[in-house]
Structure 1
Amino acid sequence: MYGAILGDMVGAPYEFDRGNKSKDFEMWNRRVRFTDDTVMTIAVADAILTAGKDSGEKEIKEELVKKMQAWGKKYPNSGYGGRFVHWLGSRKPKPYGSYGNGSAMRVSSVGWLYDTIEETREVARWTAEVTHNHPEGIKGAEATAAAIFMARNGATKNEIKEYIAKEFCYDLSRTCDEIRPGYHHDESCQKTVPEAITAFLEGSDFEDVIRTAVSLGGDCDTLTCIAGGMAEAFYGIPIKMMVETCDRLGDDMIEVLQAFDDIRNGDSSDDTDIEGNSVIFSAVKDFRAETTHENLANVVQAFCRRIKEGGRFIVPVIAPQALTEKLDLDHVAVGDEFRTDVDLSFKFQHIEDNDGAVWAVAFTSREEYEKGAGSDTLVMDIEQLLEGFAGNTSEAGIMINPWSENFLLRKDLIKAIVEISKEEK
């Protein structure tokens, strides 16, 4: 749901058709801020986590009302609609037949938390019905959550498009170029969700989805919020964008996001996403034995394969003594110095080679990590780690497995791997 929150923030300055309907804009300008979309996205996640995601309809709906009212009162000036403001202040709040896009903007966590598309759609319906019990309001929430569920589970864009068109009868035949000229501010699900899905389908990567959604105009924060949730599930989010997003949230929101990550990711000690890194270890070993272009190409392909499989590395960091638990990568920025979602300063562990070049360090397995001195660690997505170091950082690159069959992953090679991986998607 980070993608939904980011989309809300980035789209907010251009709501009410205040943009120039272009993809060329400054993404992190001073007007970027969260709105009611983010507050209610947090509220829905908080409600499900508090009730327990395996709870029934009655329990979850009761918690939804409590949390949505509580978060709404905590952030009262976030741009809520008139009827929703009345609902927030009611002692006995009842659904009011809305088909507004609020049901779709707040549902992204549901797309991540459940194991089947049937469960996902059912709980999405519950999250809508406490306010938006009109069929179109319910449909918008279900369609958004279903698209996120499919994207995070490896469905292609064509598969997502076909399912959404068939199940929800949304017209996804138009291109963004066809939508853009005559599209104006409309807060209904039926005039927001199809456009958001189209922006997601057309986008070439996470950032391009966000820019495409903003370029359509209209109810821009909500449209981009919906598209961003789908884009995160399909592409992931660049680490630097994650940090920009978290920097603009309150500590109370960050706490919910942490709890959400804990539930979504399960036991952080599970090394399932690390086990497949043996292909990288073997390719590096062959390259060290015989330094040929063919063996180097095999190393690159091994990295690309693990990125496609969602592989992760163990990355040692220098952490404040106050923090004793390993942190999830989703709140970490790549670079010499970075911050976490708890607003503490961290640094990567570095190794300096004989020429004075400084390298970040990463390990393909626990076995490799345990050959050296212990430290605090993060388990980080290979793709996001490489994308971060492909940019302007002070390090020369990443040293893989420094204690044995080490490999210097230089900036130019990192960039090549990132580019190839994107092409293969």
Structure 2
Amino acid sequence: MNSLERMQLSLSGLSVGDALGQRFFGVGEQLNERIQQRQVPPRLWRYTDDTEMALSIVETLWRYGRIEPDVLAQSFAERYNPSRGYGAGAQRLLIKLQWGADWRVEASQMFGGSGSYGNGAAMRVAPLGAYFADNLAGVRENAMLSAQPTHAHPEGIAGAVAVAVAAALAFQVGEGECMQPVQFLELVAENVPESETRSGIKQAAAIYTTSPSVVARQLGSGYKISAQDTIPFALWCAAHHLQDYQEAFWATLSGLGDMDTNCAIVGGIVALSARQRGIPTDWIESREPFPDDFLRILTDESH
């Protein structure tokens, strides 16, 4: 499997998790029952900003072979569509970038000058880990670069690194490497900068319950929309369900919280390891198609 194939597989897992996870918001009291009974909603499943921004990651990597932050920032701005459910901070930033503002200035000035520590840089990055799956140093470097146009806070950057590294390790599992959940999480943590996010991943490695809802209560599941409140739980779900995409999805969903983003993160990782028990074909067909301009980029051999 070459770098483009790996990246496309991860993008499919991410986008399906995102689009299907999104369909469970607003269900109310019936939510837990629908999850327990694994009620898949009717098509068409529309993806969110998680996938929209992941398309920019994939496009940039395919065209340049690495993350060029200026190019990526421009792509984020060009693909910005407010109907995709962007957070308020991201909306303000991307509108400014559309007006020609410098991402270096704007990203660093967000949230009173601390920068964003949201989960946005992590939700879109799994295909990057797939692209550099045989080069962890490249994974870390490019994950950091991919976060910078929108997330200047160390936690936001750490979240991106964690998910990208997890995706790279998942690909190795898909290639036949045996990796237990604790080992998987510890290896991810070793490659993440010192941060609350890294501490949360270490905490996740020490949890031995098999109940995602219990783990979600211990680690957080994205209600705060922060990297440190999202990534440890998402990686726990991925680590404990590396061999089965559907099981990973339902486990992640049962943690509630930021469901589309949690499922996008886990889906982008587990698609790389599950292989034979990967994304159901009917789920892929139920997700709205990617835009034609994006598909043309991936078929352009002159990149």
Q: 1:226: which partner in 2?
A: 265
> Larger deviation: 235-244 or 140-149?
235-244
Q: What amino acid does structure 2 have at the position aligned with 1:144?
A: V
1:257 CA drift (Å): 5.3
Task: State the percentage of identical aligned residues.
Answer: 27
TM-score scaled to structure 2, two decimals? 0.76
**Which structure 1 segments of 5+ residues have no match?**
264-425
Pairing partner for 1:138 from 142, 145, 157:
157
Q: CA deviation at 1:166?
A: 3.8
2:93 match: secondary structure = helix
Q: Is 1:9–1:34's contact at 8 Å kept on the other side of the alignment?
A: yes
The structural deviation recorded for 1:150 is 1.0
Write the mapping of 1:124-273 to structure 2, written as runs, cut at 5 A: 124-154=143-173, 155=177, 156-158=179-181, 159-167=183-191, 168-169=198-199, 170=201, 171-172=203-204, 173-174=206-207, 175=209, 176-180=212-216, 185-203=223-241, 205-236=244-275, 237-238=278-279, 240-241=281-282, 243-244=284-285, 247-256=288-297, 258=299
Q: Is the 8 A contact 2:43 2:286 kept in 1?
A: no
Letter of the 1:20 counterpart:
N
Q: Distance in 1 between matches of 2:228 and 2:26?
A: 17
**Residue matched to 1:85:** 91
Contact 1:4 1:228 in 2 (8 A): yes
2:256 and 2:83 map into 1 onto residues whose CA distance is: 23
User: C-alpha root-mean-square deviation of aligned residues, in Å?
Assistant: 2.5
SS of structure 2 residue aligned to 1:25: coil
For 1:230, give the aligned amino acid: I
Whether contact under 8 Å (1:41, 1:107) holds in the other structure is: yes
Higher relative contact order (CA 8 A, sep 6+): 2
Q: Which residue matches 1:43?
A: 56
Supply the distance in 2 between the matched residues of 1:45 and 1:70 (Cα, whole angstroms): 15
1:136 aligned partner, one-letter code: E
Larger Rg: 1
Rate the CA distance shift 1:31–1:215 in 2: closer, same or farther, 3 A: farther
Asked if the contact 2:44–2:286 (Cα under 8 Å) also holds between the matched residues in 1, the reply is no
1:227 maps to amino acid: V
Moved over 6 A (4+): none
Determine which of 117, 120, 130 is the counterpart of 1:102: 120
Deviation string, structure 1 residues 361-392 (Cα, Å, up to 9, x no partner)? xxxxxxxxxxxxxxxxxxxxxxxxxxxxxxxx
Q: Which residue matches 2:45?
A: 32
Going by fraction, where is strand more abundant, 1 or 2? Answer: 1
1:17–1:219 CA contact under 8 A, matched in 2: no
Structure 1 residue 45: deviation in Å?
Answer: 1.3
1:82-121 per-position Cα deviation (integer Å, ceiling 9, x unaligned): 1111111112132131010100011122111123001011
Q: Give a deviation string over 1:376-418, Cα, whole Å, max 9, x none.
A: xxxxxxxxxxxxxxxxxxxxxxxxxxxxxxxxxxxxxxxxxxx
State which drifts further: 1-10 or 241-250. 241-250
Q: Does 2:12 correspond to 1:2?
A: yes
- Asked whether the equivalents of residues 213 and 227 of structure 1 are also in contact (C-alpha less than 8 Å), the reply is yes
Contiguous gaps of at least 5 residues in structure 2: 1-10, 192-197
> Scaled by the length of structure 1, what TM-score is found?
0.55
Inter-CA distance 215–38: structure 2 relative to 1 (3 Å threshold): same
